[in-house]
Amino acid sequence: MEIRRVTVDDAGPLAALVRANRAYLEPWDPIRDESYYTEYGQRRLIADVLGKDDALPYVIVVDGRVVGRVTLSNVVRGPFLSASLGYWVAEETAGRGVASAAVAAIVRAAFTEHGLHRVEAATLLHNVRSRRVLERNGFERIGMAPRYLRIAGEWQDHYLFQLLAENWLAAGPGGA
């Protein structure tokens, strides 16, 4: 497993992946416009995010194939040095440690390459798998936000997590 920065050339593989995994991802995602599931829609999303300085989007690659996304968004510099983490993997790779490895890789990049101090993440209360991914990577739960995000058409509560650079470093070589 590896992660690499997303490029517009990933639009086709990502469109095919989100179409194939639509039913699997829908309970965890906001309601998407139909264009999201097209190569054009993915190309537009990638172009938009690549033009921003507050997002660090990556694809997750296994055996040369794109199998998901991991992104640091809402990147804030200055005294805050923080970002929000988001990730998903295709159903066929779920439960095989791919998401955990991708989160470990993006956390390493956040703290070493991008100089961030804090990475935050949020999971739906009933998303046990996602919570385990974060916990395996040293994230600590810091609270619960009622009606935090509109997921699957409903405002839903989320657990909030964070990982600080010094805690990641203290976890040992390579962090958590």
**Amino acid 3: pLDDT:** 98
The encoded tokens of residue 78 equal: 């200055």
pLDDT at 95 over 80: yes
| pLDDT tens-digit series, residues 104-161 | 999 999 999 999 999 999 999 999 999 999 999 999 999 999 999 999 999 999 999 9
Contact by Cβ (8 Å): 25, 127:
no
Residue spans of the domains in the chain: they are: 2-170
| pLDDT tens-digit series, residues 5-30 | 999 999 999 999 999 999 999 999 99
Separation CA 23–CA 152 (nearest Å): 11
The domain 2-170 belongs to what CATH superfamily?
Gcn5-related N-acetyltransferase (GNAT) (3.40.630.30)
Percent of the chain whose pLDDT exceeds 90 = 94
Instruction: Identify the residue whose tokens are 């390493």.
Output: 108
Banded pLDDT at 166 (limits 50, 70, 90): very high
**Amino acid 51: pLDDT:** 82
pTM (2 d.p.): 0.95
| pLDDT tens-digit series, residues 44-62 | 999 999 989 999 999 999 9
Contact by Cβ (8 Å): 133, 100:
yes
- Of 81, 169, 170, whose CA–CA distance to 120 is shortest? 81
- Of 160, 58, 63, 154, whose CA–CA distance to 109 is shortest? 58
Average the pLDDT over 73-81 and give the result.
96
